[in-house]
């Protein structure tokens, strides 16, 4: 088995689209303001080995997929912004914990963080060029992939 970002990202974005909450679902981290409404964006943050899951012939991998949910902070009414972003996080965490093997493409979503950071969201703000400020929630979606890389002596 090899790492297949297309499959993992497709699975993550499909879950986001299925919620019906997002005006846009992107397969990359936005470098400019994505516009109005709720947007979801996905990209890779880290890739590395999982020693406890690896053997003498193959290495298990941990791929950390990031999902950022963005909504303009000046959306009216302002009291609804955090509610909308939090509801979207809840919908995605529910979807990812309900599809632990990402359609049989990974061993599991590391929900509880057995091999690093768990499935989680951190909230904050992001400002893009031009001064547009967004309320954001950045999800860490840790994926464990069995036998990603073969091991052999040359």
Chain segment 3-20, per-residue pLDDT in tens: 999 999 999 999 999 999
Q: Would the pTM of this model clear 0.75, i.e. be above it? A: yes
pLDDT band (50, 70, 90) for residue 30: very high
Residue numbers of the domain that contains 137? 5-150
Q: What per-residue confidence (pLDDT) applies to 131?
A: 86
Which residues face 58 on adjacent strands? 150
Contacts of 67 (CB under 8 A, 6+ apart): 12, 16, 40, 41, 42, 92, 138, 139, 141
Any idea what DSSP says for residue 75?
Answer: P
Q: What per-residue confidence (pLDDT) applies to 139?
A: 99
How far is it, in rounded angstroms, from Cα 86 to Cα 91? 9
How far is it, in rounded angstroms, from Cα 70 to Cα 26? 11
How many domains in the chain?
1
- Count of C-beta atoms within a 10 Å radius of residue 130: 7
Q: What per-residue confidence (pLDDT) applies to 130?
A: 84
User: At residue 86, does pLDDT exceed 70?
Assistant: yes
Q: What per-residue confidence (pLDDT) applies to 154?
A: 83
- The two tokens of residue 91 are 């919908």
Half-sphere exposure of 44 toward its Cβ, with a 13 Å CA cutoff? 14
Which residues face 71 on adjacent strands? 135
- Count of C-beta atoms within a 10 Å radius of residue 154: 2
Tell me the CATH number at 57: 3.30.70.1700
Q: Is the peptide bond preceding residue 77 cis, with omega within 30 degrees of 0?
A: yes
């Amino acid at each position: 088995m090899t790492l297949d970002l297309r499959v993992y990202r497709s699975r993550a974005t499909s879950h986001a689209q299925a919620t019906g909450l997002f005006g846009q679902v992107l397969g990359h981290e936005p470098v400019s303001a994505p516009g109005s409404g709720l947007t979801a964006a996905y990209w890779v943050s880290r890739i590395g080995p999982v020693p406890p899951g690896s053997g003498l012939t193959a290495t298990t991998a941990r791929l950390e997929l990031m999902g950022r949910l963005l909504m303009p902070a000046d959306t009216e009414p302002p009291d609804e912004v955090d509610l909308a972003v939090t509801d979207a996080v809840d919908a995605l965490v529910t979807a990812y914990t309900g599809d632990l093997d990402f359609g049989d493409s990974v061993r599991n979503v590391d929900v509880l963080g057995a091999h690093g950071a768990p499935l989680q969201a951190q909230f904050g703000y992001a400002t893009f060029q031009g001064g547009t400020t967004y309320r954001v929630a950045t999800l860490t979606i840790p994926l464990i992939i069995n036998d990603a890389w073969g091991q052999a002596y040359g």
